[in-house]
């Protein structure tokens, strides 16, 4: 689910998790392959335009060790070649509007308290 409202990372994380229920768990989106990344990017551009958008990745627990908020494995890395940088202060990750003209929407780490739209993912539990 794509949320155009601008939130800090922790607010976006909480809002996504508030949609959890009997039918499944909701959280900021996890990305494990190129197809998913491309799908999300296409939808972000279609819905918001080319803007920075939170995904569920950060190194809030240990600097330099990135983990998904849903606990899934960090098995796909799409950081821009210049990122992550400023490991000690930039602890949250977003799809990066690469206005600098590089390949679109790789990832960048940034301060967690900036305001971006965000993407929630709901995992449906079969009954």
Q: Which is nearer to Ca ion, 14 or 85 (CB)?
A: 85
Count of beta carbons in the 10 Å neighbourhood of residue 125: 10
Give residues 75-94 in contact with Ca ion (rule: CB under 5 A): 83, 85, 90
- For 40, phi and psi rounded to 5 degrees? -65, -45
Question: What tokens were used for 114?
Answer: 């900036």
Instruction: List the end-to-end C-alpha distance of the chain, in Å, as a whole number.
Output: 22
Q: Is residue 108 within the footprint of Ca ion (CB under 5 A)?
A: yes
Query: Considering the complex, what minimum distance in angstroms separates the CB of residue 86 from Ca ion?
Result: 6
Would you count residue 109 as binding Ca ion (CB under 5 A)? yes
Query: Would you say 82 or 123 has its CB closer to Ca ion?
Result: 82
- Contact predicate 59/31, CB 8 Å: no
Query: Smallest distance, Å, CB 84 to Ca ion?
Result: 6
Contact residues: Ca ion, CB under 5 A: 83, 85, 90, 108-109
């Amino acid at each position: 689910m794509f949320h155009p409202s601008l939130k800090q990372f922790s607010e976006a994380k909480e809002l996504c998790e508030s949609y959890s229920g009997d039918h499944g768990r909701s959280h900021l989106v996890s990305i494990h392959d190129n197809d998913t990344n491309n799908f999300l990017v296409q939808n972000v551009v279609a819905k918001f335009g080319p803007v920075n958008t939170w995904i569920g990745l950060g190194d809030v627990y240990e600097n330099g060790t990135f983990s998904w908020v849903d606990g899934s494995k960090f098995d796909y890395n799409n950081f821009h070649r210049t990122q992550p940088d400023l490991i000690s202060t930039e602890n949250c990750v977003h799809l990066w509007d690469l206005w600098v003209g590089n390949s679109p929407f790789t990832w960048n780490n940034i301060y967690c308290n900036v305001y971006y739209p965000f993407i929630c993912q709901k995992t449906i539990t079969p009954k």
